[in-house]
Each structure stands twice: as structure tokens, then as C-alpha cells.
A and B are shown apart, each in its own frame.
Chain A
Amino acid sequence: MLRMFFSRPLPGVAVALAMLAGPGCYVGVDGDDGSSSISAGPTAGLTQGDSGSSGSAGSDSAGSDSAGSDTAGDDPPPALEPAAASLRLLLHRHYRNAIRDLLGDGPAAVVAPPKDTPINGFDAVGSAQLALSDASVEIYETSARAAAAAAMGDMARIEAYLGCAPTGPDDAACHGKLVATFGRLAWRRPLTDAEVARYVAVAQQAALDSGDFFTGVENVIAALLQSPYFLYMVEVGAADPEDSSRRYLTGHEMATRLAFFLTDSTPAPWLLDAADDGLLDDADGIREVATLLLEEPAAKDALDNYFSEVLRLRELDTLAKDPAVWPQWSPGLAQAMRTETLLLLQDIIWQRDGDFRDYLDAPYTFANNQVGPLYGLTPPGGGEWGDGFLKTPLPEASKRGGILGQGALMSVLAHISSTSPTLRGKFIREALLCESIPAPPGNVSTVIPPAGEAAPTMRERLEQHLTDPGCAACHMAMDPIGFGLENYDGIGIFRTMENGAVIDTVSEVNGATFDGARELGGVLKQQRAVSVCVIRNLFRHGAGHIETSGELPTLIDLEETFEARGFSLKALLVDLVANPAFRMVGTPE
């Protein structure tokens, strides 16, 4: 069956590229590290996805073989060249949740793992590239010891790990049982005999020194939690017995990747059992497991955390606003905005299991006594707003719809005292379209004309700026998108006037005209690059690296499956983790 893509073509990419490659844009310099300029990004990716120069019709035939098949994915597509995996330090939330699942809430409350360091917008990318410091190792030692000490307050759990009654401090066999059972859960794989012996020696020294078997238990738990096998996701893979040029993540590596990706925590015992039994060695087994994981409450929390990261909602925690401009700004309002955005996403993903792209133009939101009045909304059932959030229709006149008209993004993507069409446009290019925007250059004037009679509105001020060809080449890709959102001020309040002038909010994105958030979302959701970008972002977080040119075509093909399943995000997650791009790794280099 030949499916036509003309209904959702990629004109915007070409438009953006034309602008970015224009004269005066400083992006043309190739780095001495071999990385290419930004304009190569979308071109390279989508050209490959479209099977070369044959245009969008080509992508149909390229992708149709695998689309829609539930068992697709056991045979890697010829184009797939998986990147070599790196050691991936557990993220802050992974570490804390793993301690919770291994030892309980008490121990989880006393750990303080290092902060994450994002690279390219993803914590997971930084965690796969950076090395530990003295301070981090010290923190991990302190946290492990504190967690182990707290765990000794829950002897029922400790005894369950032991499965034996110690005969005395010198009962090495009983220590060995604990190392094997607890170690397997903490390291997410069975320990070798040599590893068990190494850690039994740690337990024995402590037990014999103190004369207390359980001092040995406490010390060995602390030691196992400092091991690189706990701290890093080790994803070395193993050669496919049928074709040694291919490497797949082992069952235990896959269980680990699945659990941290889908539930932000360590694999549960049943999942490790499944890995032991070889159930994660093929796509069907992986689908089954992923479906089960998505039914756990932790899956919802994990996606909340993921969206808080990629949509930058967590910046609301410390976001400052100019009290002279927005006296109503408060930490409570900021948190309500974050909740509003997450509730919309949860509604689409979990309650409705609907077309995920609705998050861009849904004509309703979730409001309470913080955000409801900010938007001028009245409670749907009448009466007064309360603390609780109510699903509320959005009046068309506000042009609101989807996340782009919500307070959270409008506040984060703004300056402290004003809006920023540039930041809004940059976010949409980067986070929603997966395009690269180059960094601002050095040694250029960054003066923006002040608000005045000639240019009363932010749009007019920036449009003056855009007459500078050195700036325009790149700002043309960003600012116009933001111009169409100028009805929402720097904390998302609707306005039609700025400095006494009417704000013109009719603008263009990728050749399509729009006015306001809902129309912008409507335009974006029709663009294939947007649904491909949903996949790319999930992959970046789940696999710990930005997809390479050897992986991108496979991810682009997956978009067909995404569409075939009505753009269900839950279904996409299952398809993604079963995909060869997610399951395979290159040979360590």
C-alpha cells in the first residue's frame, strides 16, 4: 500500500534552510572538530529519511515495509548504523528512585546524588559524556553509606534479601546470599562468583572488625551502591549469534534501559527474571514488557519528568520575573502553570490515549484559582475557582490552545521583564521541530532599538533589528514564530496592546500563516517534522545520545507507525523501544 505524504510535507524545513543558509548568516563555518554547520542538520536527516533525492514519494516505499507490523524490528533496516554506546551515569532521579525501590522511602530520603549536567538540552546526553569528579565520588560515598544505614531500620527487608539466619559475624555464606540477591537487583544483572567473593570480603571485614554480622551487611550494601555497576548503565551489547556484525543490548541491559526510560527507576525483580529467561531478546518480548511497564504508576511520573525536562517546565522552580512588570508573579503561580501543562499532557496520553499532537492546539486546558483568573476564564460549572484544576474550554478569541498558549511556556520563553519572540521561536525550532539554531556570534552589536514612537511594540523593535543582514539570517528563523505569540505577555497574560499600539500577531511559520497559539499549533501538528521530532526527543532521552545520521532514517520511518496508530504516545513508546534503533549498539570504540 502506497501512502502519500503530500498531506504532511516538509516545506518548512526547506524554507528554514534557505533562510539559514542565506548570506550574512554566520552559521556556515564548519568546526575544526568536524561537526557541520546547522543547516546540514535537518537536510541531512530528512533527506536520508526520504531515501535520497526522490522526494517525499520515496519515503513511502522506504518505510512501508516495516510500518504497521507489530513484530517489526527484529531485522534491522539496512540503513541503520547504531552508535556505539557510552556508559551512562544514572540521572539524579534515576538514582533516588533506584534507592527507593531497592531499600525503601527512608533510605531514598537521605541520598543526595549530584545534579545532572545537560548537554544539547538533555540530562541523559550529559550523563553519557561526562566523567565523575572528586566531589561526585564523595557524594556517592556519602549517599550510599547514609542509605545503607537507613536501610538497617527495616530489618524485614534486609532479612528478605538475606534469606538465611546468620550463625555469627563470620557467616560468609550468609553474606554471600545477600551480595548475590541484593547485588543482582542493584547491579541489574547476576554477579559473577569473583564479584560475589570480592564483596563478601568487604562484608566479612566489617563484621569481624565489629563483631556484628549486620555491620557487615550495612557496609556491603553501601559498597555495592558505589560500584560502577550500580552508578552507570552499562550498555556494551553482545554480537548477534546469527550475524556478528550486529550488536544487540543484552537482555539485562535492555531491562535496565527500559526500566529507566519508562519508569525512571531500576528494573523490578520480575523484569530481571524476564531478562534471565531471554524474554527481552526479541521485539515481541520487549513490547510485552514495555506494555506492562506503561501500566505502572511510575510510568506517568517518568513522562511528567521527561516533559518537565524537554519542555523546560522545571525552570519554573527558580524562574524570576520583574515585580515592577508582573507583581502577581509568585512561586505558587509558577507551579500552577507547570501543573496545568502536565495535566494537559496527561489527559491526552493517559486519559484519552488520543492523538498526541493535540498538545499543540487542544481547545481546552486545566485551570484553577491561579491560572484561571490569569487567563480571564470562568469555571466551567460556574462558581468560584478553587485550588483544584478543572478541564476548561478555551475561548477562541484568546487564540489559546495547546501548550503554546499556556502560562508555563510563555513565562519560561521570555525575559525577566519582557517577552522574547526570539526565545519562543528558538524553542519551537529546537524542541518541537528538532532543528538546530546556531549560537549567537561574538563581536556583533546586540543593540535592539528601544521602545518608542517609531517602534512601540516588541515586534516592531525586533523587525528593525532584522534589517541587519548579519542578524536576520538566523533571527528570521526564530523571531516571526514568536511574533505570532505576542498576544501573550511574559507570563502568558492575554493582551492586544503594547505601549499604546495594537500588536500585530499575524505571522508565518514555514510558509504557513497563523495568528496566535492555537493556529500555530494547528500548523505545526500537520508537519511531519514535528511528529518525527517527538520520536527523536524520546530517543535522545531514552538512548542517551543525539541520534546519529546512521540512526535518524530508522527513526523517521518509525513516524509512519506513529501515524498508523493514531499518534498515540503510549503506542509509540512501545514501538520505539522494540525498534532496532533502540535495541542495537555499535561496537565499543
Chain B
Amino acid sequence: MAVTVSRFGRRLLGVVVFAAALGIWEAWARSEGSFLVPPASAVAERAGQVWPTTDFLITVAASLKRLAAGFVIGAGIGVAVGLMMGSSRRTRRTLEPLTEFSRAIPPIAIVPVAIVLLGLGDAMRIAVIAFAVCFPVLVNTIEGVRAVSPEARDTASMLHVSSVGRTFRIYFPAALPCIVAGLRIAVAIGLLMVVISEFVGEGDGLGRYILFQQSQFNIPEMYGGILFLGLLGYVLNRLFLLAERRVLAWHYGAAGGPAP
């Protein structure tokens, strides 16, 4: 017998399970009372008190500012170099060993290098974020440009588009869906790097907040900070998904393909 469960019902199941998990956490935390695992209610309570305060919001804003700066720089470089490498086989082959190697370096390893070159402040952080953001964008841009159809390339030749013109007027728009997907991945990485870069050096920011709360053994606040970070990541991801869908739609129509 086939049982049709509505979409709402399915979502409800997920929510119920989630609530149950929270409930178990709460019950266990209250009974055992482990210092390191505060009840969910305590975390929520503290969060409700801390999150709306100006101090906290200013701290978050500082992190977001760094993220924005590093993201713009990193993505800009990634797209520019990606367009060059995607459109010319020779350029790609020449730059490939260097980019593949640089890409494999965990961005954390760049932190000490950045500290030596730029000190312990925001310049260092933005540089690290830019470095980390650059590569996913680069890789996706190259992929997007390479995926441009041979017909589009031939058309560009036939219509006498200069190579510069070709890159901006054909390859870039054609690769845009791929590029935006890369930007979405890069944002998540960028957020990660903001937090990591704030673990070291001086200054403010969400990462520093989490670390500080830990050092002060303010456990509920620490959990709250981590959760807020997760929330931030979720919101940013959703925003970019929306952007991605719009770019894709403008490419191919809401149906996701050419009309029959």
C-alpha cells in the first residue's frame, strides 16, 4: 500500500527529530550537569542576551568587513586569472604547476607568512582570506570558460571579436553560472579563514570572541558564538544560491533549458 506523505509532513518529521535531539541534550545536560555541556536552554538564553547587543554586533560586523574585503580581492584575482587561463591553453599550461601547488597549500600555512609580511592586524587577515578565496573561484572560472561551446567560439571567430573582446563579452558571460557557483564555495572558505585569522594576532571579530569566551570558560557564550557562526554561514550560502539561480535563469529560462 502506497502511503503518500506530503512535503509538509516530511519537513515536520525532520523538525520533530531535531527537537527530540535538543530535548535529549537538555535532559542529559541537566541531569549530568557536565560543565562542558551546558543545557540547550542555557545556551539559548545567553544567546538571546548577547546576540542583540551592540558590542556583539559590532564584533560580527568587523568579521564581515574583513570577509568582504578579502573576498572581493580574492575573487577578483581568481576571476581575472581564471579568464586568462581558461581562454588560452598555453597560459593555462604555463601557470598550472604554480597554481596547482599554491592551491594545495592549506591557507592556514599562509598565516605565518602573512604575519611576517604584514604584521598582526587586519592587512594580514585580509591577505589570508583573499588567498583562500582566490582558488575555488579560479578553478571554477577556468572550468566555466572551458565549457564554452565550440559553436560559441566559432561564432566569436566568424564575428571577428578580438581576443580581449572575446574574454569579456563571450567567455565571461558564458561562464557566469560556474563562476557564481565558485563564489558560493569561496564564501564558505572565506568565512572559515576569517575565524582562523582571528584566532591569531590582535583585534576583534567573531573568531576572537569564541576564543575569548573559551579562555574565560564562559561555555554557553562559546557555544553561542559557534552557533552564530554556523548561522552566518547558512545565510550567506542561501544568499549565493539565490544569486546562482538568478544567473542560471537569465541564462536559460526558468525551466532550466531551452524551449522545445
B is bound to A: no
